Amino acid sequence: MSTIAPPVRGKSWLWQVTALSIVLGALLALSLKTQRQAVEKGEPNRRDVLSATYLGIKRENNDLKKQLTESKLKVEKLVRQQARGIHGKDYLRMLDESKMLAGTAAVHGSGIIVTLHDSPKKPAEIKQDAVSDYIVHDRDIRDIVNELFASGAEAISINDQRMIATSSIRCVGPVVLVNSTQTAPPFVIRAIGKPDVLENALKLPMGVADGLFLLDMIEITKEPDIRIPAYSGVMKFSSAKPSEANPE
């Protein structure tokens, strides 16, 4: 019985791999050469350009905030001059109260300072859920702020960001945005109100801060005089309009 030997396959794949490797090597060498030439010519790389752009925008934003604050002070001065000449002290008192309610006036008074930070303890289990419990999240901050307002706090700030009716607290990657401003731990929450009432509200068993106390993530101090800045952002209403006092 005769046997037929299988044909020997060609090694064309070896030449294809070799050719592909040569092409890739040439492209890599060309890329490195181009980058080296750019560095020699003093051309900035993409990271440097983006960093410089970011810093420039940040400086411009800070300058605009200063201009906004100065403009608000000028308007405030004119309003007070008009009110003093026409309506007197009652109108000025109503104006001050309205500004405090809106959060556009800096205030001070007795209250508490709540500091939130990541837990110094280490999770017993290396699981994502377990590790997450040891980190301060935006929901923790929201729960504390809501509890303080519900307990009679008259003014609250988070890392010097004043809380107003349109304030938001949300997580964006490793930072928390408060009033669209990046903040990072420790989160210092200042609240003006009755110190004992505010502190007891946060120390209720099974309350909003119970887990934070368990993991040493919260500290509370009572202060006789706390200063909270005015809201420094822009208030603009595009949809909401004032209703008539006595609509027909």
The alpha carbon dihedral of 40, 45, 51, 56 has a sign of positive
Q: Is residue 161 one of the residues assigned to a domain?
A: yes
pLDDT < 70 positions in the chain: 1-13, 35, 37-46, 68, 72, 75-76, 78-88, 125-129, 245-248
Supply the CATH number for residue 202's domain.
3.30.70.1880
Q: Is residue 28 one of the residues assigned to a domain?
A: no
* pLDDT at 45 (0 to 100): 66
Q: Is residue 245 one of the residues assigned to a domain?
A: no
Q: Is residue 145 one of the residues assigned to a domain?
A: yes
Q: Is residue 17 one of the residues assigned to a domain?
A: no
Q: Is residue 160 one of the residues assigned to a domain?
A: yes
Looking at residue 128, its amino acid is: Q
- Residue 190 CB contacts under 8 Å (≥ 6 apart), including other chains: 111, 112, 113, 114, 156, 157, 226, 227, 228
Number of domains in the chain: 1
DSSP 8-state assignment for residue 151: T
Q: Is residue 226 one of the residues assigned to a domain?
A: yes
* pLDDT at 93 (0 to 100): 76
pTM: 0.67
List, for residues 190-205, the tens digit of each pLDDT value.
Answer: 999 999 999 999 999 9
* pLDDT at 214 (0 to 100): 92
> Residue 119: which domain range?
109-232
Q: Is residue 77 one of the residues assigned to a domain?
A: no
